[in-house]
A = this chain, B = another copy of it.
Amino acid sequence: MRVLGIDPGFTRCGIGVVESLSGKKLRLVDFGIIRTDSKAPLQERLMSLDAALSDWIERVSPNAIAVERVFSQLNVRTAMATGQAAGVALLLAAKSGLPIALHTPTEVKAAVTGSGRADKAQVAQMVVKILGLKEAPKPVDTTDALALAICHHWRGSSSEALASAAKKERARLGKLKETNSRRSRSRN
C-alpha cells in the first residue's frame, strides 16, 4: 500500500509518498514541493498544479491520496486558495479512480506523535524516526505531507472502509456519468 500525501497550496504544495512494508513498518518513497509562480495568472497556476500532481500520480502510482483538511486557518482568503488547491488535487485523485481521504492537522499530529497538540518540531522529529531518515526533509511542507501519508497508513481500518466505499461509488458513478451524458445529448 502506497499513500501520496498532499499539503495543498498554490505557492508551495507539499508532497510526501510513504509505503507500508510488513506489519506497521513504513518506508519513504519520495517527497517534494510543487511551486507555482505567484505572479502568474490563476488559470496558469491551476493548470501547473494539476499537471504536476498528475505527473506525481503517474510516477509513484499510489493506492490512495490523503489531503490535509484545513480548519484552523483564520484567514478566509488563504482558506479559499487552499481550498481551490485541495479541489484540484481531490478532483484529480477522483478522476484517477484513487480513494481519497481528508485528515485534519490534529488527526495527523495525534497519529504521528500521540498528541493532537504537538508542535511542528515534534512532528518532524517523529517523521524522521518513523521513516528512519537522517534528518527532516525541507521545506516543512514536505514533512507535513509525509506526516499526512503516515497518518493515512495508521488510520488503516477507516481508510480501507473508505477505499471499499470509493470502489462502490466509482462503479455507481460510471453508471451516473453514462446517464448524464445521455441526458446532455438529448438536451441538445
Query: Are the C-beta atoms of A172 and B44 separated by less than 8 Å?
Result: yes
Residues of B within 8 A of A52 (CB): 180
CB contact between A91 and one of B70, B74, B87 (< 8 Å): that residue: B87
Query: Are the C-beta atoms of A43 and B93 separated by less than 8 Å?
Result: yes
Residue of B nearest to A43 (CB): B94
Main secondary structure of the interface of A (DSSP, over half): helix
Query: Are the C-beta atoms of A69 and B59 separated by less than 8 Å?
Result: no
| One of A21-29, A77-85, A107-115, A148-156 at the interface | A77-85
> In whole angstroms, what is the CA distance A40 to B176 when docked?
13
> In whole angstroms, what is the CA distance A61 to B166 when docked?
33
> In whole angstroms, what is the CA distance A102 to B42 when docked?
10
Residue of B nearest to A180 (CB): B51
> In whole angstroms, what is the CA distance A15 to B6 when docked?
30
Complex interface residues of chain A between 134 and 173 (CB less than 8 A to chain B): 162, 165-166, 169-170, 172-173
B-contacting residues of A (Cβ < 8 Å)?
A: 40-44, 46-48, 50-52, 55, 58-59, 69-74, 76-77, 79-88, 90-91, 93-95, 99-100, 102, 162, 165-166, 169-170, 172-173, 176-177, 180, 183-184, 187-188
